[in-house]
């Protein structure tokens, strides 16, 4: 099937209207481009579940603070479109900034309370930008289901809550983290890592696997686990840890004692590159 590239909201509305009129279900895969296997796994999930899939490619300036280098973010639009076409995605919506945020745009969504923890402490404006653009994309695509990756664990939690709170008629599905063979969670930012930095970056997954082993062995002391996580990361050469935490998977409040299910989350810098990883632990 040939992929249709859509760049305006008006064109998108026409397409969506046609699909809905024919009774077809729509899955949306929101992305900021620089696609990797993780994104493609979301496209595959959407293709499996829905009649049609719309992938969106929009590098959303509203979720970057002035200190974060938006211009450094990799841009690979042509290659992204090719990869989505190879996956059989029917529609790619790749709008300009002006299309999403026209000059007279002034409304924004206040994210739910869970957005204030973890990422929210280090990137206070981030989730405001995320929920605003995601709500716009869900409204524009009228999607039945929206797909997000578990690597951005808190983002999934925040979007789920936003959708629930605002009665958005879209189901949110969070799909598993895709890792390279060495265990590194796929991220568009991994291209910035040198060979040496990549070796250090592996410590995020190793630390999470260590936590898993500890929990399986019966460890329930949250503070001890967190102290060990930080030490393992520092010993491996991680320069700066924003957070290393074990938390309740819904509220993201620190789990101490650890009650299952729980999630361990890490945000840390290797060189200039900020990496995220997490692992969910369930009973049994």
Shortest Cβ 257–ligand PAF spacing (Å): 32
- Given candidates 27, 30, 112, 128, which one binds ligand PAF under the rule CB under 6 A? 30
Rounded CA-CA distance 34/192 in Å is 12
Does the protein bind ligand PAF through residue 55 (CB under 6 A)? no
- Given candidates 60, 157, 170, 273, which one binds ligand PAF under the rule CB under 6 A? 60
Shortest Cβ 141–ligand PAF spacing (Å): 12
Q: Is 39 a catalytic residue?
A: yes
- Given candidates 118, 130, 186, 263, which one binds ligand PAF under the rule CB under 6 A? 130
Q: Distance from CA of residue 145 to its chain's centroid?
A: 15
Query: Strands, DSSP E only, in the chain?
Result: 4-6, 26-31, 52-57, 91-93, 145-149, 171-175, 240-247, 262-270, 273-281
Does the protein bind ligand PAF through residue 146 (CB under 6 A)? no
Q: Which stretch binds ligand PAF (CB under 6 A): 27-35, 64-72, 84-92, 177-185?
A: 27-35
- In 3D space, the residue among 45, 70, 66, 63 whose CA is nearest the CA of residue 55 turns out to be 45
Nearer to ligand PAF, 64 or 281 (CB): 64
Shortest Cβ 128–ligand PAF spacing (Å): 12
141, 12 contact by CB (below 8 A)? yes
Does the protein bind ligand PAF through residue 32 (CB under 6 A)? yes
Cα angle 93-95-99, degrees, rounded to a multiple of 5: 135
282, 261 contact by CB (below 8 A)? yes
- Given candidates 15, 134, 158, 186, which one binds ligand PAF under the rule CB under 6 A? 134
Size of the site for ligand PAF (CB under 6 A): 10
Query: Strands, DSSP E only, in 25-137?
Result: 26-31, 52-57, 91-93
Using CB under 6 A, list all residues that contact ligand PAF. Answer: 30-32, 60, 63, 130, 133-134, 152, 155
């Amino acid at each position: 099937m040939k992929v249709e590239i859509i760049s305006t909201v008006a064109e998108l509305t026409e397409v969506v209207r046609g699909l809905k009129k024919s009774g077809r279900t729509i899955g949306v895969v929101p992305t900021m481009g620089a696609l990797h296997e993780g994104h493609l796994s979301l496209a595959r999930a959407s293709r499996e579940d829905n009649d049609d899939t719309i992938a969106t490619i929009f590098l959303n300036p509203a979720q970057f603070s002035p200190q974060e280098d938006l211009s450094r973010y990799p841009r690979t639009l042509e290659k992204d479109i090719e990869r989505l076409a190879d996956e059989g995605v029917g529609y790619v919506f790749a709008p300009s900034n002006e299309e999403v945020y026209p000059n007279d745009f002034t409304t924004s969504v206040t994210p739910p309370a869970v957005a204030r923890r973890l990422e929210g402490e280090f990137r206070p404006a981030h989730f405001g930008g995320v929920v605003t653009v995601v709500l716009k994309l869900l409204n524009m695509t009228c999607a039945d289901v929206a797909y997000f990756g578990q690597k951005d664990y808190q983002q999934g939690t925040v979007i789920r809550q936003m959708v629930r709170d605002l009665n958005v008629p879209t189901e949110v599905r969070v799909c598993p983290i895709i890792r390279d063979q060495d265990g590194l969670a796929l991220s568009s930012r991994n291209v910035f890592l040198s060979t040496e930095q990549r070796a250090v970056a592996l410590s995020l997954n190793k630390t999470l696997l260590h936590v898993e082993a500890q929990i399986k062995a019966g460890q329930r002391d949250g503070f001890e686990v967190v102290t060990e996580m930080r030490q393992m990361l520092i010993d491996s050469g991680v320069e700066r840890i924003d957070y290393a935490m074990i938390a309740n998977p819904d509220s993201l409040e620190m789990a101490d004692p650890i009650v299952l299910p729980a999630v361990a989350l890490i945000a840390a810098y290797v060189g200039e590159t900020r990496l995220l990883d997490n692992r969910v632990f369930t009973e049994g």
